[in-house]
């Protein structure tokens, strides 16, 4: 069984993430993190989709109550320039390299606790971009498009259309001709153009 596989432990009636085998037992980790537990290999099986979903929702709810990130599978990211964050992240990397799942979990929990206490929450790891103002203008290299479709009819729309035209007068002329031929009076008109963003300043 591959590490990370979600399994159901019938003895504890919990879904856990398979970590490794230790002697006669297997080590399972709670979905979303936490203290690992030992399980009898004969009493575990791969979790069903419903069991995986239920465990994921439970982990998200637990993390929401703790004020943590909504993503139960994402480890915390160190805050750039913070020596404590970087030290804990390094400790976590070493634990991963040694396949020590318990130490990885401990490092993640310490990192989250530090970030809540010192940085006002968990780092998202997202980059921050400076706002640059733009102006939206019509693209002069492309002509606007005009179109009309007849929606007259008692039981169903007529559906006749003008096709795409380059000027509104052409569409209006088509409407007049169509009304003369059919006595239909109601149309749906559409206008489309192309726009570009130009940086200000």
pLDDT attached to residue 53: 78
Same domain, 24 and 3: yes
Same domain, 68 and 117: no
E strand or H helix at 186:
none
pLDDT attached to residue 69: 46
Q: What is the pLDDT of residues 5-55, one digit of tens each?
A: 899 999 999 999 998 888 889 999 888 777 888 999 999 999 998 888 778
Q: What tokens appear for 196 in the block? A: 């570009």
Domain CATH code at residue 6: 2.30.30
E strand or H helix at 175:
helix 168-182
Give CA–CA dist 44/40, Å, rounded: 7
The pLDDT > 90 percentage for the chain reads 32
pTM for this one? 0.34
Find the domain containing 188 and state its range.
134-199
Q: Of 100, 47, 151, which is closest to residue 108 (Cα–Cα)? A: 100
pLDDT attached to residue 60: 64
Residue 109, CB half-sphere, CA atoms under 13 Å: how many? 11
Query: What's the DSSP call for residue 161?
Result: B
> Which parts of the chain have pLDDT scores under 70?
60-73, 120-132, 201
pLDDT attached to residue 84: 87
pLDDT attached to residue 108: 81
Number of structural domains in the chain: 3
Same domain, 62 and 36: yes
Q: Which of 88, 110, 128 is at the close of a domain?
A: 128
Same domain, 81 and 120: yes
């Amino acid at each position: 069984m591959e590490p990370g596989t979600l399994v159901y432990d019938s003895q504890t009636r919990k879904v856990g993430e398979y970590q490794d085998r230790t002697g006669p037992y297997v080590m399972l980790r709670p979905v979303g993190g936490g203290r690992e537990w030992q399980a009898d290999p004969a009493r575990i099986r791969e979790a069903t989709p419903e069991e995986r979903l239920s465990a994921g929702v439970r982990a998200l709810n637990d993390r929401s109550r703790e004020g943590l990130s909504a993503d139960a599978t994402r480890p915390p990211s160190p805050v750039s320039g913070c020596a404590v964050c970087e030290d804990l992240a390094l400790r976590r990397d070493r634990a991963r390299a040694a396949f020590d799942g318990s130490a990885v979990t401990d490092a993640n929990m310490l990192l989250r606790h530090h970030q809540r206490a010192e940085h006002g929450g968990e780092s998202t790891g997202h980059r921050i971009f400076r706002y640059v103002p733009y102006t939206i203008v019509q693209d002069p290299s492309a002509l606007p498009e005009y179109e009309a479709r007849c929606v007259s009819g008692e039981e169903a729309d007529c559906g006749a259309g003008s096709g795409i035209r380059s000027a509104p007068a052409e569409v209006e002329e088509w409407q007049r001709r169509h009304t003369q031929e059919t006595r239909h009076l109601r149309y749906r008109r559409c206008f489309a153009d192309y726009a570009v963003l130009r940086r200000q300043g």
